[in-house]
Structure 1
Amino acid sequence: MHRSSLRLLLSSLLVALIALFFYSTAGMPTLAAVRNANAAFNPSYKPIAIFVGGTSGIGQGIAEAFARHTRGAAHIVIVGRNRAAADAIIAQFPKPDNNKTQYTHEFVQCDVTLMNNVEAVTKDLLARMPKINFLVMSPGYMTMRGRDETEEGLDKKFAVHYYARWKFVNDLLPALRRAKEAGEDSKVLSVLAAGKGAEIDLDDLGLKKTFSAPKIAFQAPTYNDLMMQEFAARNPGITFIHAYPGAVRTSLMASSDSRWIRASSPLVLGLLYPFTTSLHETGEYMLHGLLNRKEGFWRVGSRAEDLGMKNYFGSEEARKRLWEHTVKATAVSSS
């Protein structure tokens, strides 16, 4: 076998084995039960929902599920880089039958690897939104590169999986609080890998000195745990959820900057097909996890089941030090 073909096969099998290791459906709610619960969502107010990373993958699935169950009668904002993809998604959203029902479905462009871009978008949203009921964040970035810094000094993968998410929540808190004060839903969902983390390196927050692909893969989930837990502690009455979606059939591998990952994508997806869920199914499960959690900090699994503090690697000291680090790391220069 040619060396490149062997490498492709081995890398594909490795990814497949990792996903199989994490796969389990014991004690989880059925898809039918989840759909029925989501269909019962019928708020007395007009919800406003922001989907960061909603132009593809899991974010798209959740946005579509939300539009489906609100029957389009909501203000839905998709934040991402691909306008054409967003327009195609929005075009399929249901439109309310009642002409008196006001709704807005829109796209806001943002490359979330840069905090400057995130701040520009959050300022615009705050200026236009009387409130925000749901903030869903699921942007993804797959790469095999080493540390790849942006002009702001943050690793791109870390910026997408953690720093931009923190900044979206922090900047949009005034609108989330207004929803809570009105007696409406006020909820935040970060979709990454709850329960799949490890102890974080408090001596190298941001991994400037000890970066590696495996290390960031296990550090980022714990960063998200600590982020959501600290936001919940600082904002009583608002719901903060970190979710693990499981193995999902998305285009993330096919869009990787690694040609080996792109080339192995069809093989890996084929091997994992029996153990993966579609965007439609995952959207339903993640939406269920969002709609059916009350105030406070939550961690949910791939079928929206409550993970509790299983495989939690945080501490009060880690939360405090990570928060202080993140405030500085995400600060945008006035110049």
Structure 2
Amino acid sequence: MPSYYFVKLGWIAAILFSAFLFPLTRRSSLAAVHASNSGFTPSYTPVAVFVGGTSGIGQGVAEAFARHTHGNAHIIIVGRNHAAAQSIIERFPKPAVTTGITHEFIECDVTRMRNVQAVTREILTRVPKVNFLVMTPGIATLKGRDETEEGIDKKLALHYYARWKFTNDLIPAILGAKDAGEDAKVLSVMSAGRGGKIDLGDLGLKETYSLRNVAQAAPVYNDLMMEEFSMRYPQLTFVHAYPGPVRTPLMKTSDSVLIRAAAYIVRPLFSTVMFSPEYTGEFMLHGLLNSTQGFKRIGSTGEDMGMKNYYGSELARRRLWEHTVNETRVPNIS
């Protein structure tokens, strides 16, 4: 049989596995993950910040965190949709003791670094520590490079720059949690292991922007970001996650007519291999809670995926860091 047919059979087998066996495997592990997450019983009142927590994966992780802490946590949701945030917060379990425990929302369009800096400053005035910083903002678009007035592409702002700035600005509070002997962890949910070679001569893709290039660069930027933070702050935990296919609202709320139309085809067609934000929230929380100090990468069930498909280097980390410091600098903010 020609090798072509072996390749075809391989693809068919992979699709059958994804459609039937993988969902069963993942569902069978959910009970164990749920039990593990329920074992998170800190002796302190944790503070958790969820950037992009008003829908999709961010909402799923925030709800899982609130559920397993029984509402006994200071939870801050950062996003644009006030009504959605309030609805989510109202469904959180009510804390046993209300003194010092708040579930709150801070409105922010995180495509603007000025907004991010204003919000991080506000958070630092509200809490003395941050135990968990979870970042999941995203966008589905077919547009080319779409710059804000700050000169940053909106897609990259959501998928990388804002995440770097939230982490960098909140480091004092995250270190505060560690100094108190508590959990101090950062999670960026992007596409760990799904990137490719990046152009160090065009970081930010101002000259070579394309949908392919941005999809390839953002996961690697997140890898390099989390790895560099872990080298600068080795006592902390920095996690980059690949959540797998999830039924989020991104396609239905896209600015692209084609993507919105495709949502009505893709979701029913691939429903067996896509998982709800609730499922994914449990798995991402599991991976976060069980990650140890340093730089970690986790897969769709929260498992440690090691350095598979890693495209970084010491040079790339250094150049990206220097580039990002310049790109995210906010002048003349009071």
Please name the residue that 2:272 is paired with. Answer: 274
SS at match of 2:270: helix
Please name the residue that 1:297 is paired with. Answer: 295
TM-superposed deviation, 1:20: 6.0
Q: TM-score, normalised by structure 2?
A: 0.92
Aligned AA for 2:233?
N
Please name the residue that 1:50 is paired with. Answer: 49
Distance 1:128 1:100, change over 3 A: closer
Please name the residue that 1:185 is paired with. Answer: 183
Q: Which residues in structure 2 correspond to 1:1-335 (within 5 Å)?
A: 25=22, 30-96=29-95, 98-99=96-97, 102-334=100-332
Rounded to whole Å, the distance in 1 between the matches of 2:213 and 2:98 is 52
SS at match of 2:296: strand
Please name the residue that 1:12 is paired with. Answer: none
The number of equivalent residue pairs is 317
TM-superposed deviation, 1:250: 1.0
Rounded to whole Å, the distance in 2 between the matches of 1:99 and 1:126 is 23
TM-superposed deviation, 1:256: 0.4
Distance 1:100 1:273, change over 3 A: closer
Contact 1:73–1:101 under 8 Å retained in 2:
no
1:110-155 deviation line (CA, Å, top 9, x unaligned): 0000000000000111111110000000001111000000000000
Aligned AA for 1:249?
R
Higher mean alpha-carbon deviation, 71-80 vs 20-29, is at 20-29
Aligned AA for 2:146?
D
Rounded to whole Å, the distance in 1 between the matches of 2:104 and 2:222 is 27
TM-superposed deviation, 1:42: 0.1
Contact 2:72–2:97 under 8 Å retained in 1:
no
Aligned AA for 2:230?
A
TM-superposed deviation, 1:22: 11
Aligned AA for 1:40?
G
SS at match of 1:198: coil
Rounded to whole Å, the distance in 2 between the matches of 1:261 and 1:22 is 26
State, as a whole percentage, how many aligned pairs show the same letter.
Answer: 62
Higher mean alpha-carbon deviation, 228-237 vs 22-31, is at 22-31
Aligned AA for 1:171?
D
Aligned AA for 2:45?
K
Rounded to whole Å, the distance in 1 between the matches of 2:31 and 2:136 is 24
Distance 1:21 1:123, change over 3 A: farther
1:15-64 deviation line (CA, Å, top 9, x unaligned): xx9x9699594987811110000000000000000000000000000000
Aligned AA for 2:130?
I
Rounded to whole Å, the distance in 1 between the matches of 2:111 and 2:156 is 8
Please name the residue that 1:7 is paired with. Answer: none
Please name the residue that 1:3 is paired with. Answer: none
Rounded to whole Å, the distance in 1 between the matches of 2:45 and 2:175 is 16
1:277-322 deviation line (CA, Å, top 9, x unaligned): 1111000000001101111000000011111000000000000000
Gap runs ≥5 in structure 1: 1-16
Q: TM-score, normalised by structure 1?
A: 0.91
Gap runs ≥5 in structure 2: 1-11
Contact 2:22–2:273 under 8 Å retained in 1:
no
Rounded to whole Å, the distance in 2 between the matches of 1:292 and 1:251 is 28
Higher mean alpha-carbon deviation, 311-320 vs 101-110, is at 101-110
